[in-house]
Copies of this chain bind each other. A is one copy, B any other.
Amino acid sequence: MQHLIGVDLGGTNLKVALLDKKGEIRKKTSVLTARGKQAVLQQIIESIEKVLEKTGVKKSAVLGIGIGTPGLVDNIHGIVRGFTNIKGWRNVPLKEYVEREIKLPVYVDNDVNLMTLGELMCGAGRGAKNIVCLTLGTGVGGGIVIEGNLYRGSTLSAGEIGHVSVNADGPRCICGSYGCLERYVGNAYIVKKAVEAIEGGRRSIIKKLVEGDLKAVTPRVISRAARQGDRLAGEIWEETGRYIGIVLSGVVNLLDPEIIVIGGGVAQAGRLLFEPIRKTVKERAMSIPARKVKIVPAKLGKDAGLIGAGMLVKVEANKISSLHPA
């Protein structure tokens, strides 16, 4: 049994991969996620079967299937509690369903947890025991590894770094609280800051890059502008990095991790973003843990979730075999 199957069920794409035990992807498929619960379930089964067929790998050579999805996942029972992008998708017993159809062990977890597991076992976090992962995008998520194990919390809700407050009396966040990190560095807020500044008369090449259509501004465009020396874009990344650094200083003081891995689209701003983050953490966190912690970009990019899903199989199968040694 030398192979693993990883499934990354997103709101837009459903990706399935066959991986070896080191986390190398041997074959990968990606389709647009279907609409409606039944269609998605069927699509998962078909995608898994297609990957097996294309690679000629037999089920008996597969250790199991790992599946990542957004939202709250009961990883113990393999039930996806909710996933707003798919209609009717509430309390879906995904593990049970896929096990019945494919007849292989199935493990399910939250996608950010699996990205974290991927980076821990095959990416930027290799060899570390205490890791915090931060994913930047529309939402700002996080995963925590404690003593080598994914930490999920008492209600499986741990890791919501995006909803740690930067300013107690800051602007209202969609979560109901105030001044959350996500409210400052989520994609929409970064874009809004650029657009408002330009509309307010600030000069910036961002406007030229989107040919005057400010609705086309994205974090990627702001990164491009910053790399070309645009002052507004540079300030936006500086400020974004500072906010992230402020919250990470608290995380460093609280959790004293060896490494903080930052992924997601916004992290592609690279040095522009990482320099103010590192500077802020050095200035604000306690000196001993601040000197130790490495703050680095994620390594696995868009495949982190797929690789992590594969690694989940390895982790869970190991647990079972250590309970029932041969």
Task: Check if A236 is an interface residue, CB within 8 A of chain B.
Answer: no
CA of A157 to CA of B169, assembled, Å: 29
Query: Is B251 within 8 A of A155, CB to CB?
Result: no
Query: Is B158 within 8 A of A254, CB to CB?
Result: yes
A154-B167 contact in complex given A142-B254, A288-B72, C-beta closer than 8 Å: no
One of B72, B130, B177, B284 near A153 (C-beta < 8 A): B130
One of B169, B254, B283 near A254 (C-beta < 8 A): B254
Q: Which residues of B contact A288 (CB under 8 A)?
A: 72, 155, 157
127-183 of chain A: CB within 8 A of chain B: 129-130, 142, 144, 146-147, 149, 151-161, 163-169, 175-178
One of B129, B149, B168 near A154 (C-beta < 8 A): B129
A254-B176 contact in complex given A154-B292, A155-B288, A292-B155, C-beta closer than 8 Å: no
In the complex, how many residues of chain A place their beta carbon closer than 8 angstroms to a beta carbon of chain B?
50
Query: Is A165 within 8 A of B130, CB to CB?
Result: no
**Taking the nearest CB of chain B, how far is it from the CB of A153, in angstroms?**
3
Q: Which residues of B contact A72 (CB under 8 A)?
A: 288
Q: Which residues of B contact A292 (CB under 8 A)?
A: 154-155
Task: Check if A258 is an interface residue, CB within 8 A of chain B.
Answer: yes
Q: Which residues of B contact A249 (CB under 8 A)?
A: 165, 177
Query: Is A163 within 8 A of B286, CB to CB?
Result: yes
**Taking the nearest CB of chain B, how far is it from the CB of A307, in angstroms?**
24
215-254 of chain A: CB within 8 A of chain B: 243, 246, 249-251, 253-254
Query: Is B284 within 8 A of A253, CB to CB?
Result: no
CA of A283 to CA of B168, assembled, Å: 12
Task: Check if A300 is an interface residue, CB within 8 A of chain B.
Answer: no
Query: Is B157 within 8 A of A289, CB to CB?
Result: yes
Query: Is B256 within 8 A of A254, CB to CB?
Result: no
Task: Check if A255 is an interface residue, CB within 8 A of chain B.
Answer: yes
Query: Is B155 within 8 A of A250, CB to CB?
Result: no
Task: Check if A114 is an interface residue, CB within 8 A of chain B.
Answer: no
Q: Which residues of B contact A153 (CB under 8 A)?
A: 130, 255-257, 289
Q: Which residues of B contact A176 (CB under 8 A)?
A: 283-284, 287
Query: Is B284 within 8 A of A178, CB to CB?
Result: yes
Query: Is A164 within 8 A of B255, CB to CB?
Result: no
Query: Is B158 within 8 A of A151, CB to CB?
Result: no
Chain A residues with a Cβ under 8 A of chain B: 72, 129-130, 142, 144, 146-147, 149, 151-161, 163-169, 175-178, 243, 246, 249-251, 253-258, 283-289, 292-293
